[in-house]
Amino acid sequence: MNIFLQHNPTKLYFGKGQISQLSGEIGQKKVLVVYGGGSIKQNGVYEDVMTELEKAGATIYELPGVEQNPRLTTVHKGVEICKFEAIDILLAVGGGSVIDCTKAIAVGAKYDGDVWDLITQKTPIESALPIGTVLTLGATGSEMNPISVISNWKTKDKIGWGSSHVFPRFSILDPTYTYSVSRKQTTYAIVDSMSHALEHYFHRTKNTPMIDGFIESLLRTAIGTGPKLLEDLTSYDHRETMMYISTTAFNETLSNGTDGGDWATHRIEHAISAVYDIPHGGGLAILFPNWLEHVLEEDPSRAKMLAMNVFGISDEGKSDLEVAREGAKALRSFWNSLDAPNRLSDYDIDDHDIELIIDKTFVKPGVGTYKELDRDNVRDILTRSM
Ligand code: NZQ
Ligand code: ZN
Protein backbone atom coordinates (compact mmCIF):
# COMPACT_ATOMS: atom_id res chain seq x y z
CA MET A 1 0.00 0.00 0.00
CA ASN A 2 0.98 3.64 -0.37
CA ILE A 3 1.05 5.96 2.62
CA PHE A 4 -2.24 7.83 2.88
CA LEU A 5 -4.16 10.39 4.88
CA GLN A 6 -7.86 9.84 5.48
CA HIS A 7 -9.71 12.96 6.48
CA ASN A 8 -13.32 13.32 5.41
CA PRO A 9 -15.01 16.06 7.42
CA THR A 10 -18.57 15.54 6.09
CA LYS A 11 -21.06 14.68 8.81
CA LEU A 12 -23.48 12.12 7.40
CA TYR A 13 -27.04 11.77 8.68
CA PHE A 14 -28.29 8.54 7.12
CA GLY A 15 -31.81 7.10 7.30
CA LYS A 16 -35.51 7.78 7.30
CA GLY A 17 -36.58 10.98 9.03
CA GLN A 18 -33.07 12.44 9.33
CA ILE A 19 -34.32 15.72 7.85
CA SER A 20 -35.14 16.54 11.48
CA GLN A 21 -31.42 17.32 11.89
CA LEU A 22 -31.58 20.17 9.38
CA SER A 23 -32.81 22.97 11.63
CA GLY A 24 -30.03 22.34 14.13
CA GLU A 25 -27.40 22.39 11.39
CA ILE A 26 -28.58 25.65 9.80
CA GLY A 27 -29.73 27.76 12.77
CA GLN A 28 -30.67 31.42 12.34
CA LYS A 29 -28.52 31.98 9.27
CA LYS A 30 -29.06 33.45 5.83
CA VAL A 31 -29.34 30.34 3.70
CA LEU A 32 -29.46 30.00 -0.09
CA VAL A 33 -31.41 26.86 -1.02
CA VAL A 34 -30.23 25.53 -4.40
CA TYR A 35 -32.33 23.00 -6.31
CA GLY A 36 -33.06 21.64 -9.77
CA GLY A 37 -35.95 21.47 -12.17
CA GLY A 38 -38.74 20.97 -9.68
CA SER A 39 -38.77 17.29 -8.63
CA ILE A 40 -38.46 18.38 -4.98
CA LYS A 41 -41.74 20.27 -5.27
CA GLN A 42 -43.54 17.15 -6.51
CA ASN A 43 -42.23 14.64 -3.99
CA GLY A 44 -42.63 16.62 -0.77
CA VAL A 45 -38.91 17.20 -0.08
CA TYR A 46 -39.19 20.96 -0.63
CA GLU A 47 -41.92 21.21 2.02
CA ASP A 48 -39.90 19.17 4.52
CA VAL A 49 -36.85 21.37 3.97
CA MET A 50 -38.78 24.63 4.29
CA THR A 51 -40.52 23.46 7.48
CA GLU A 52 -37.13 22.71 9.04
CA LEU A 53 -35.59 26.01 7.91
CA GLU A 54 -38.52 27.98 9.28
CA LYS A 55 -38.23 26.07 12.55
CA ALA A 56 -34.58 27.11 12.69
CA GLY A 57 -35.48 30.77 12.16
CA ALA A 58 -33.31 30.93 9.04
CA THR A 59 -33.66 33.67 6.42
CA ILE A 60 -34.34 31.80 3.21
CA TYR A 61 -33.26 32.62 -0.36
CA GLU A 62 -33.77 30.27 -3.30
CA LEU A 63 -31.99 29.38 -6.54
CA PRO A 64 -34.09 26.92 -8.57
CA GLY A 65 -33.40 25.59 -12.06
CA VAL A 66 -30.00 23.87 -11.81
CA GLU A 67 -29.62 21.83 -14.99
CA GLN A 68 -28.57 18.17 -15.30
CA ASN A 69 -24.89 18.72 -16.16
CA PRO A 70 -24.94 22.05 -14.30
CA ARG A 71 -23.94 25.13 -16.22
CA LEU A 72 -21.60 27.98 -15.46
CA THR A 73 -24.39 30.49 -16.16
CA THR A 74 -26.38 29.10 -13.20
CA VAL A 75 -23.28 29.18 -10.99
CA HIS A 76 -22.92 32.89 -11.87
CA LYS A 77 -26.54 33.53 -10.79
CA GLY A 78 -25.88 31.86 -7.43
CA VAL A 79 -22.64 33.75 -6.84
CA GLU A 80 -24.45 37.02 -7.49
CA ILE A 81 -27.16 36.21 -4.92
CA CYS A 82 -24.54 35.20 -2.33
CA LYS A 83 -22.58 38.41 -2.76
CA PHE A 84 -25.60 40.72 -2.91
CA GLU A 85 -27.47 39.17 0.03
CA ALA A 86 -24.38 38.28 2.12
CA ILE A 87 -25.44 34.62 2.34
CA ASP A 88 -23.95 32.63 5.29
CA ILE A 89 -24.51 29.04 4.15
CA LEU A 90 -25.61 27.13 1.05
CA LEU A 91 -28.04 24.22 1.09
CA ALA A 92 -28.13 21.93 -1.95
CA VAL A 93 -31.34 19.90 -2.27
CA GLY A 94 -31.08 17.42 -5.13
CA GLY A 95 -28.70 15.06 -6.91
CA GLY A 96 -25.12 15.45 -8.09
CA SER A 97 -25.84 18.33 -10.45
CA VAL A 98 -27.38 20.49 -7.74
CA ILE A 99 -24.61 19.69 -5.26
CA ASP A 100 -21.86 20.34 -7.82
CA CYS A 101 -23.40 23.67 -8.79
CA THR A 102 -23.62 24.60 -5.11
CA LYS A 103 -19.93 23.79 -4.58
CA ALA A 104 -18.99 26.12 -7.44
CA ILE A 105 -21.22 28.88 -6.04
CA ALA A 106 -19.56 28.41 -2.64
CA VAL A 107 -16.08 29.13 -3.99
CA GLY A 108 -17.26 31.83 -6.42
CA ALA A 109 -18.92 33.72 -3.56
CA LYS A 110 -15.52 34.16 -1.90
CA TYR A 111 -13.68 35.25 -5.04
CA ASP A 112 -13.58 38.63 -6.74
CA GLY A 113 -12.97 37.43 -10.29
CA ASP A 114 -14.89 34.97 -12.48
CA VAL A 115 -15.48 31.60 -10.79
CA TRP A 116 -14.38 29.89 -14.06
CA ASP A 117 -10.79 30.85 -13.09
CA LEU A 118 -11.16 28.63 -10.01
CA ILE A 119 -12.84 25.75 -11.85
CA THR A 120 -10.09 25.69 -14.48
CA GLN A 121 -7.46 25.99 -11.72
CA LYS A 122 -6.08 29.21 -13.22
CA THR A 123 -6.39 30.65 -9.71
CA PRO A 124 -6.01 28.55 -6.52
CA ILE A 125 -9.07 28.17 -4.31
CA GLU A 126 -8.52 29.70 -0.90
CA SER A 127 -11.94 29.65 0.74
CA ALA A 128 -15.62 28.83 0.29
CA LEU A 129 -18.96 29.40 1.93
CA PRO A 130 -20.08 26.38 3.99
CA ILE A 131 -22.35 23.88 2.27
CA GLY A 132 -24.93 21.39 3.49
CA THR A 133 -26.84 18.91 1.32
CA VAL A 134 -30.13 17.05 1.32
CA LEU A 135 -29.62 14.24 -1.18
CA THR A 136 -32.51 13.18 -3.42
CA LEU A 137 -30.60 10.96 -5.86
CA GLY A 138 -27.64 8.82 -4.81
CA ALA A 139 -25.23 8.38 -7.71
CA THR A 140 -22.23 10.67 -7.83
CA GLY A 141 -21.00 10.66 -4.22
CA SER A 142 -20.84 14.47 -4.38
CA GLU A 143 -22.63 14.59 -1.00
CA MET A 144 -19.47 13.35 0.72
CA ASN A 145 -16.61 14.33 -1.55
CA PRO A 146 -14.73 17.52 -2.48
CA ILE A 147 -15.42 17.25 -6.22
CA SER A 148 -17.66 19.12 -8.64
CA VAL A 149 -18.18 19.03 -12.40
CA ILE A 150 -19.33 22.16 -14.24
CA SER A 151 -20.21 22.69 -17.90
CA ASN A 152 -19.36 25.83 -19.80
CA TRP A 153 -21.74 25.65 -22.70
CA LYS A 154 -20.11 28.61 -24.47
CA THR A 155 -16.70 26.93 -24.75
CA LYS A 156 -18.15 23.37 -24.74
CA ASP A 157 -16.06 22.33 -21.76
CA LYS A 158 -17.15 20.11 -18.89
CA ILE A 159 -14.53 20.35 -16.16
CA GLY A 160 -14.12 18.26 -13.03
CA TRP A 161 -12.38 20.11 -10.20
CA GLY A 162 -11.96 19.69 -6.47
CA SER A 163 -11.00 21.49 -3.29
CA SER A 164 -10.99 20.47 0.35
CA HIS A 165 -12.94 23.72 0.96
CA VAL A 166 -16.05 22.22 -0.67
CA PHE A 167 -16.53 19.07 1.33
CA PRO A 168 -20.14 19.43 2.52
CA ARG A 169 -20.25 20.24 6.26
CA PHE A 170 -23.18 17.83 6.56
CA SER A 171 -25.31 15.69 4.28
CA ILE A 172 -28.75 14.28 4.98
CA LEU A 173 -29.47 10.98 3.23
CA ASP A 174 -33.03 9.73 3.57
CA PRO A 175 -33.66 6.79 1.22
CA THR A 176 -37.40 7.61 1.06
CA TYR A 177 -36.45 10.87 -0.70
CA THR A 178 -35.22 8.77 -3.63
CA TYR A 179 -38.48 6.80 -4.11
CA SER A 180 -39.57 9.15 -6.91
CA VAL A 181 -36.37 8.79 -8.96
CA SER A 182 -37.42 7.35 -12.33
CA ARG A 183 -36.43 3.88 -13.49
CA LYS A 184 -34.13 5.31 -16.15
CA GLN A 185 -32.40 7.68 -13.72
CA THR A 186 -32.07 4.82 -11.21
CA THR A 187 -30.30 2.75 -13.87
CA TYR A 188 -27.90 5.64 -14.53
CA ALA A 189 -27.27 5.90 -10.79
CA ILE A 190 -26.44 2.18 -10.50
CA VAL A 191 -24.05 2.44 -13.47
CA ASP A 192 -22.37 5.60 -12.15
CA SER A 193 -21.84 4.13 -8.67
CA MET A 194 -20.45 0.90 -10.12
CA SER A 195 -18.20 2.88 -12.49
CA HIS A 196 -16.72 4.78 -9.55
CA ALA A 197 -15.93 1.48 -7.84
CA LEU A 198 -14.56 -0.01 -11.07
CA GLU A 199 -12.33 2.97 -11.81
CA HIS A 200 -10.90 2.75 -8.29
CA TYR A 201 -10.29 -0.97 -8.86
CA PHE A 202 -7.95 -0.42 -11.83
CA HIS A 203 -4.94 0.76 -9.86
CA ARG A 204 -1.38 -0.51 -9.92
CA THR A 205 -0.52 -0.45 -6.21
CA LYS A 206 0.74 -3.71 -4.70
CA ASN A 207 -0.60 -5.46 -1.59
CA THR A 208 -4.10 -3.98 -1.42
CA PRO A 209 -6.25 -7.03 -0.53
CA MET A 210 -8.47 -5.09 1.87
CA ILE A 211 -9.43 -2.32 -0.59
CA ASP A 212 -9.73 -4.75 -3.51
CA GLY A 213 -12.02 -6.97 -1.46
CA PHE A 214 -14.04 -3.96 -0.33
CA ILE A 215 -14.56 -2.85 -3.95
CA GLU A 216 -15.47 -6.36 -5.06
CA SER A 217 -18.01 -6.64 -2.24
CA LEU A 218 -19.53 -3.28 -3.16
CA LEU A 219 -19.82 -4.38 -6.81
CA ARG A 220 -21.37 -7.75 -5.94
CA THR A 221 -23.89 -5.96 -3.70
CA ALA A 222 -24.78 -3.51 -6.49
CA ILE A 223 -25.22 -6.42 -8.91
CA GLY A 224 -27.45 -8.20 -6.39
CA THR A 225 -29.51 -5.16 -5.44
CA GLY A 226 -29.77 -3.12 -8.67
CA PRO A 227 -32.19 -5.40 -10.56
CA LYS A 228 -34.41 -5.86 -7.45
CA LEU A 229 -34.57 -2.09 -7.00
CA LEU A 230 -35.60 -1.56 -10.63
CA GLU A 231 -38.45 -4.05 -10.04
CA ASP A 232 -39.58 -2.18 -6.94
CA LEU A 233 -38.57 1.49 -6.99
CA THR A 234 -40.13 2.22 -3.60
CA SER A 235 -38.41 -0.57 -1.68
CA TYR A 236 -36.83 1.06 1.37
CA ASP A 237 -34.33 -1.77 1.73
CA HIS A 238 -33.05 -1.56 -1.84
CA ARG A 239 -33.03 2.24 -1.94
CA GLU A 240 -31.05 2.34 1.31
CA THR A 241 -28.52 -0.21 0.04
CA MET A 242 -27.96 1.64 -3.25
CA MET A 243 -27.76 5.01 -1.49
CA TYR A 244 -25.03 3.76 0.83
CA ILE A 245 -23.21 2.14 -2.11
CA SER A 246 -23.21 5.35 -4.14
CA THR A 247 -21.86 7.45 -1.28
CA THR A 248 -19.16 4.92 -0.39
CA ALA A 249 -18.11 4.43 -4.01
CA PHE A 250 -16.81 7.99 -4.22
CA ASN A 251 -16.05 9.40 -0.78
CA GLU A 252 -12.32 8.60 -0.91
CA THR A 253 -12.69 5.34 1.07
CA LEU A 254 -11.92 3.23 -1.99
CA SER A 255 -8.64 5.00 -2.75
CA ASN A 256 -7.06 4.58 0.69
CA GLY A 257 -3.53 3.30 0.15
CA THR A 258 -3.78 2.97 -3.64
CA ASP A 259 -2.71 5.22 -6.51
CA GLY A 260 -6.38 6.23 -6.86
CA GLY A 261 -7.28 4.11 -9.86
CA ASP A 262 -7.86 4.99 -13.50
CA TRP A 263 -10.47 7.65 -14.35
CA ALA A 264 -9.99 7.77 -18.11
CA THR A 265 -13.59 6.70 -18.76
CA HIS A 266 -14.89 9.62 -16.71
CA ARG A 267 -12.66 12.00 -18.65
CA ILE A 268 -13.98 10.71 -21.98
CA GLU A 269 -17.58 10.78 -20.71
CA HIS A 270 -17.24 14.38 -19.55
CA ALA A 271 -15.88 15.27 -23.00
CA ILE A 272 -18.90 13.67 -24.71
CA SER A 273 -21.31 15.39 -22.30
CA ALA A 274 -19.56 18.71 -22.98
CA VAL A 275 -20.35 18.39 -26.66
CA TYR A 276 -23.70 16.52 -26.55
CA ASP A 277 -25.14 17.11 -23.05
CA ILE A 278 -25.96 13.43 -22.46
CA PRO A 279 -26.69 11.92 -19.00
CA HIS A 280 -23.45 11.03 -17.19
CA GLY A 281 -24.49 7.47 -16.20
CA GLY A 282 -25.68 6.74 -19.74
CA GLY A 283 -22.33 7.77 -21.19
CA LEU A 284 -20.42 5.63 -18.69
CA ALA A 285 -22.55 2.56 -19.47
CA ILE A 286 -21.47 2.87 -23.10
CA LEU A 287 -17.82 3.65 -22.49
CA PHE A 288 -16.55 1.65 -19.52
CA PRO A 289 -16.85 -1.88 -21.01
CA ASN A 290 -15.12 -0.59 -24.16
CA TRP A 291 -12.33 0.97 -22.10
CA LEU A 292 -12.01 -2.38 -20.31
CA GLU A 293 -11.80 -4.31 -23.59
CA HIS A 294 -9.20 -1.84 -24.83
CA VAL A 295 -6.90 -2.16 -21.80
CA LEU A 296 -7.25 -5.87 -21.05
CA GLU A 297 -5.59 -6.75 -24.37
CA GLU A 298 -2.33 -5.35 -22.96
CA ASP A 299 -2.73 -6.34 -19.33
CA PRO A 300 -5.57 -8.72 -18.43
CA SER A 301 -4.55 -9.17 -14.75
CA ARG A 302 -7.10 -6.99 -12.96
CA ALA A 303 -9.87 -7.62 -15.46
CA LYS A 304 -9.34 -11.32 -14.71
CA MET A 305 -9.64 -10.63 -10.97
CA LEU A 306 -12.86 -8.73 -11.64
CA ALA A 307 -14.23 -11.58 -13.74
CA MET A 308 -13.50 -14.19 -11.07
CA ASN A 309 -14.19 -12.30 -7.84
CA VAL A 310 -17.20 -10.24 -8.93
CA PHE A 311 -18.84 -12.25 -11.70
CA GLY A 312 -17.88 -15.71 -10.45
CA ILE A 313 -16.27 -16.74 -13.75
CA SER A 314 -14.05 -19.83 -13.53
CA ASP A 315 -10.53 -19.80 -14.97
CA GLU A 316 -10.37 -23.55 -15.47
CA GLY A 317 -8.70 -24.38 -18.77
CA LYS A 318 -8.67 -20.75 -19.89
CA SER A 319 -5.95 -18.19 -20.51
CA ASP A 320 -5.86 -14.97 -18.46
CA LEU A 321 -7.01 -13.06 -21.52
CA GLU A 322 -10.01 -15.33 -22.07
CA VAL A 323 -11.14 -14.94 -18.45
CA ALA A 324 -10.65 -11.16 -18.63
CA ARG A 325 -12.67 -10.94 -21.85
CA GLU A 326 -15.49 -12.97 -20.26
CA GLY A 327 -15.49 -10.49 -17.36
CA ALA A 328 -15.88 -7.51 -19.71
CA LYS A 329 -18.75 -9.32 -21.47
CA ALA A 330 -20.42 -10.11 -18.13
CA LEU A 331 -20.32 -6.44 -17.14
CA ARG A 332 -21.81 -5.39 -20.47
CA SER A 333 -24.57 -8.05 -20.17
CA PHE A 334 -25.38 -6.93 -16.64
CA TRP A 335 -25.78 -3.28 -17.65
CA ASN A 336 -27.76 -4.35 -20.74
CA SER A 337 -30.10 -6.26 -18.41
CA LEU A 338 -30.83 -2.94 -16.65
CA ASP A 339 -31.69 -1.35 -20.04
CA ALA A 340 -28.66 0.94 -19.87
CA PRO A 341 -27.59 2.38 -23.23
CA ASN A 342 -24.70 0.55 -24.93
CA ARG A 343 -23.92 2.54 -28.08
CA LEU A 344 -23.33 6.23 -28.66
CA SER A 345 -25.88 5.90 -31.47
CA ASP A 346 -28.47 5.46 -28.67
CA TYR A 347 -27.94 9.23 -28.22
CA ASP A 348 -27.74 9.88 -31.99
CA ILE A 349 -23.99 10.42 -31.74
CA ASP A 350 -21.89 9.35 -34.72
CA ASP A 351 -18.23 9.94 -35.57
CA HIS A 352 -18.87 13.46 -36.89
CA ASP A 353 -17.40 15.19 -33.81
CA ILE A 354 -14.95 12.49 -32.78
CA GLU A 355 -11.87 14.75 -33.05
CA LEU A 356 -13.60 17.48 -31.02
CA ILE A 357 -14.46 14.91 -28.30
CA ILE A 358 -10.82 13.79 -28.26
CA ASP A 359 -9.69 17.44 -27.94
CA LYS A 360 -12.07 17.91 -25.01
CA THR A 361 -10.82 14.69 -23.36
CA PHE A 362 -7.32 16.18 -23.32
CA VAL A 363 -8.45 19.58 -22.02
CA LYS A 364 -6.33 18.64 -18.98
CA PRO A 365 -3.12 16.63 -19.62
CA GLY A 366 -2.78 12.96 -18.60
CA VAL A 367 -5.71 10.66 -19.37
CA GLY A 368 -5.55 7.35 -17.53
CA THR A 369 -3.05 5.79 -15.13
CA TYR A 370 -3.58 2.03 -15.32
CA LYS A 371 -2.98 2.70 -18.97
CA GLU A 372 -2.09 6.23 -20.02
CA LEU A 373 -4.10 6.88 -23.16
CA ASP A 374 -3.02 8.83 -26.21
CA ARG A 375 -5.32 10.30 -28.85
CA ASP A 376 -5.32 7.09 -30.90
CA ASN A 377 -6.30 5.04 -27.82
CA VAL A 378 -9.20 7.39 -27.06
CA ARG A 379 -10.26 7.23 -30.72
CA ASP A 380 -10.22 3.42 -30.50
CA ILE A 381 -12.45 3.43 -27.38
CA LEU A 382 -14.85 5.91 -29.00
CA THR A 383 -14.96 3.92 -32.23
CA ARG A 384 -15.75 0.71 -30.29
CA SER A 385 -18.56 2.72 -28.62
CA MET A 386 -20.28 4.01 -31.82
O1 NZQ B 1 -33.63 18.73 -11.64
P2 NZQ B 1 -34.40 17.93 -10.66
O3 NZQ B 1 -35.81 18.32 -10.54
O4 NZQ B 1 -33.69 17.82 -9.33
O5 NZQ B 1 -34.49 16.43 -11.28
C6 NZQ B 1 -33.37 15.59 -11.35
C7 NZQ B 1 -32.79 15.46 -12.75
O8 NZQ B 1 -33.78 15.62 -13.71
C9 NZQ B 1 -33.85 14.17 -11.12
N10 NZQ B 1 -34.04 13.87 -9.71
C11 NZQ B 1 -33.16 14.04 -8.68
N12 NZQ B 1 -33.71 13.59 -7.53
C13 NZQ B 1 -34.95 13.16 -7.84
C14 NZQ B 1 -35.16 13.33 -9.22
N15 NZQ B 1 -36.31 13.02 -9.82
C16 NZQ B 1 -37.27 12.49 -9.06
N17 NZQ B 1 -37.16 12.28 -7.74
C18 NZQ B 1 -36.00 12.60 -7.09
N19 NZQ B 1 -35.88 12.34 -5.77
O20 NZQ B 1 -32.85 13.36 -11.69
C21 NZQ B 1 -32.30 14.03 -12.81
C22 NZQ B 1 -30.79 13.89 -12.78
O23 NZQ B 1 -30.25 14.59 -11.68
P24 NZQ B 1 -28.69 14.91 -11.60
O25 NZQ B 1 -28.43 15.61 -10.34
O26 NZQ B 1 -28.27 15.55 -12.89
O27 NZQ B 1 -28.06 13.45 -11.59
P28 NZQ B 1 -26.75 12.90 -10.93
O29 NZQ B 1 -26.85 12.82 -9.48
O30 NZQ B 1 -26.44 11.67 -11.67
O31 NZQ B 1 -25.62 14.02 -11.25
C32 NZQ B 1 -25.00 14.09 -12.51
C33 NZQ B 1 -23.94 15.17 -12.54
O34 NZQ B 1 -22.90 14.93 -11.57
C35 NZQ B 1 -21.62 14.89 -12.23
C36 NZQ B 1 -21.98 14.41 -13.60
O37 NZQ B 1 -20.94 14.65 -14.54
C38 NZQ B 1 -23.24 15.21 -13.89
O39 NZQ B 1 -22.92 16.53 -14.26
N40 NZQ B 1 -20.68 14.07 -11.45
C41 NZQ B 1 -20.26 14.56 -10.28
C42 NZQ B 1 -19.35 13.90 -9.49
C43 NZQ B 1 -18.92 14.43 -8.18
N44 NZQ B 1 -19.28 15.64 -7.84
O45 NZQ B 1 -18.21 13.76 -7.45
C46 NZQ B 1 -18.74 12.65 -9.92
C47 NZQ B 1 -19.51 11.97 -10.98
O48 NZQ B 1 -18.66 11.04 -11.59
C49 NZQ B 1 -20.10 12.88 -12.02
O50 NZQ B 1 -19.17 13.24 -13.01
ZN1 ZN C 1 -19.43 9.39 -12.27
Residue 15 lies in a domain: yes
Are 141 and 287 within one domain?
no
Query: Mean pLDDT across the stretch 212-241?
Result: 98
| DSSP letter assigned to residue 254 | G
At 149, which CATH number? 3.40.50.1970
Residue 4 lies in a domain: no
Helices (H), 202-319: 209-231, 236-248, 264-276, 280-296, 301-309
The residue among 178, 204, 238 that closes a domain is 178
Query: Mean pLDDT across the stretch 331-358?
Result: 96
Are 61 and 162 within one domain?
yes
Are 62 and 198 within one domain?
no
- Tell me the whole-structure pTM to 2 decimals: 0.98
The residue among 150, 178, 206 that closes a domain is 178
Are 215 and 348 within one domain?
yes
Q: Judge contact between 150 and 121, C-beta under 8 A.
A: no
Please give the pLDDT value at position 93: 98
Residue 321 lies in a domain: yes
Nearest atom (ligand 1) to Cα of 66: 1
- List ligand 1's pocket residues with C-beta within 6 A: 36-39, 43, 68-69, 94-98, 100, 136-137, 139-142, 145, 147-149, 177-178, 180-181, 185, 188, 192, 250, 266, 280-281
Are 257 and 129 within one domain?
no
Count of domains observed in the chain: 2
Query: Mean pLDDT across the stretch 348-375?
Result: 95
pLDDT band at 119 (very low <50, low <70, confident <90, very high): very high
| DSSP letter assigned to residue 67 | P
Q: Judge contact between 331 and 292, C-beta under 8 A.
A: yes
What is the C-alpha to C-alpha distance for residues 107 and 110, in angstroms, rounded to an integer?
Answer: 5
Ion ligand 2 residues within 5 Å by Cβ: 192
Please give the pLDDT value at position 217: 98
pLDDT band at 375 (very low <50, low <70, confident <90, very high): very high
What is the C-alpha to C-alpha distance for residues 274 and 254, in angstroms, rounded to an integer?
Answer: 27
Please give the pLDDT value at position 179: 98
At 291, which CATH number? 1.20.1090.10
Residue 1 lies in a domain: no
pLDDT band at 253 (very low <50, low <70, confident <90, very high): very high
Q: What SS3 state is found at 252? A: coil
What is the C-alpha to C-alpha distance for residues 208 and 299, in angstroms, rounded to an integer?
Answer: 18
Please give the pLDDT value at position 318: 98
Helices (H), the chain: 22-26, 39-42, 45-56, 72-85, 96-108, 116-119, 183-201, 209-231, 236-248, 264-276, 280-296, 301-309, 320-337, 354-361, 375-385
Residue 6 lies in a domain: no
- Number of other residues whose CB lies within 10 A of the CB of residue 17: 11
Please give the pLDDT value at position 17: 98
What average pLDDT does the chain have?
A: 97
Q: Which domain holds residue 15?
A: 11-178
The residue among 125, 152, 178 that closes a domain is 178
